[in-house]
Structure 1
């Protein structure tokens, strides 16, 4: 096989690799960022797609994040692939934090005072075992209100950051391509296209 190890990894090595990857935890995030930066759509379309994906990742609609992100990206003329990629913000490490944050903010906004603090485990237990009619008022309503506020704020920040990053990335890429082609940056600034 092309990518098989020469020496098979032992159980302790595989266990360590599972909990602490050799390439680190930031590698997937860097890959995702580069993948989004290299999309060929306009900066607005990519940024709108990322914003749609991040907004949908904050909603409690687990399993429907990509569908919601694609719908929002379509409505805002965003890039669909960027929207789908941005939904990875909601992953097994971040979903408990997002759920508790949206739930707490929703309680504050709606003025609901719970008798005792609900942990992430209890919140997911309620989501798993209660009927929709029993879930709406104590859990889903606060989470949706909190998600709309936190998701909108995160989407706004993601749109701005992605737009700035894309413009900078495309400008550097264009300058590098012009330098390879033998065109000096001073010639480009005058609007002259001849070398």
Structure 2
């Protein structure tokens, strides 16, 4: 109750903010970068968390990326919060190229041909799969004949190729982010320690000076 918004956003406003934050994606990126750098952990553990989060965005487990990133980070002994924040590498601006590359790679590895302009679109196959799940769930209580054709097409043409094809580009991209992150985080932490040390030194000098003045006054 304490953290609930006082002004509840309309559904359309919520969707619009997801697709394009009010401050823009550049501001959102810098915010996430700032939060990741300030995490109280070693650069290597934070970078392993980033690896887990970025790699997760190349998997077809939409709406479960937080859970997948958490599990991958636990296996790698990476920072969990860094992994969760790194999943923002996948966003409305990057999901299209990520999905395209993953599907292309997956169909190539499986020996299939990925048709970019098929009669039913990529998003359409997601919708068909969702409709099958909903209708077949209703069929359990109504006695209707279940129909799994949409889900079968989705699995064969989208999910499985995406799952296989996302491994290689996901691992490559995540590894690049790892090696870029370690020196940047280490340099930031060293600079931050110096700043904090100077502040403590200034506070101590001020306290000593006040103590000296107090002693002279006595």
TM (normalized to structure 2)? 0.67
- Whose radius of gyration is greater, 1 or 2? 2
1:143 Cα offset (Å): 0.8
Counterparts in 2 of 1:84 and 1:22: CA distance versus 1, 3 Å: closer
Give the alignment of 1:133-172 within 5 angstroms.
133-172=152-191
Give the drift of 1:22: 7.4
Task: Deviation per CA, 1:28-84: give whole Å up to 9, x if none.
Answer: 110110000000011121111111111111111101100000001111111111111
Query: Structure 1: which 5+ residue stretches go unaligned?
Result: 1-13, 184-195
Determine if the alignment matches structure 1 residue 43 to structure 2 residue 14: no
Aligned-residue offset at 1:106: 1.3
Between Structure 1 and Structure 2, the one with more helix by share is: 2
SS of equivalent residue, structure 1 residue 61: coil
* Deviating more after overlay: 72-81 vs 94-103: 94-103
Show the counterpart of 1:94.
94
Residue aligning to 1:176:
195
In 1, the alpha carbon distance for the partners of 2:78 and 2:103 equals 28
Provide Cα deviations, 1:110-154, integer angstroms capped at 9, x if missing partner.
22124x4247x8111112204433322222222112111111111
Alpha-carbon spacing, 1:45–1:133, altered in 2? closer, same or farther (3 Å): same
Q: What CA distance in whole angstroms lies between the structure 1 residues aligned with 2:93 and 2:74?
A: 28
Separation (CA, whole Å) in 2 of partners of 1:139 and 1:30 = 33
Q: Provide the TM-score with structure 1 as the length reference.
A: 0.75
CA RMSD of aligned residues (A): 2.7
Q: How does 1:1-195 map onto structure 2 within 5 Å? A: 23-114=23-114, 116-118=115-117, 122-130=121-129, 131-181=150-200
Aligned residue pairs, count: 167
Task: Flag structure 2 segments of 5+ consecutive residues without an equivalent.
Answer: 1-12, 130-149, 203-218
Shift of 1:182: 5.1
Residue 96 of structure 1 deviates from its aligned partner by 2.0
**For residues 118 and 140 of structure 1, what CA distance do their matches in structure 2 show?**
17
Q: Summarize the Cα distance change of 1:171–1:23 in structure 2 as closer, same or farther, 3 Å threshold.
A: same
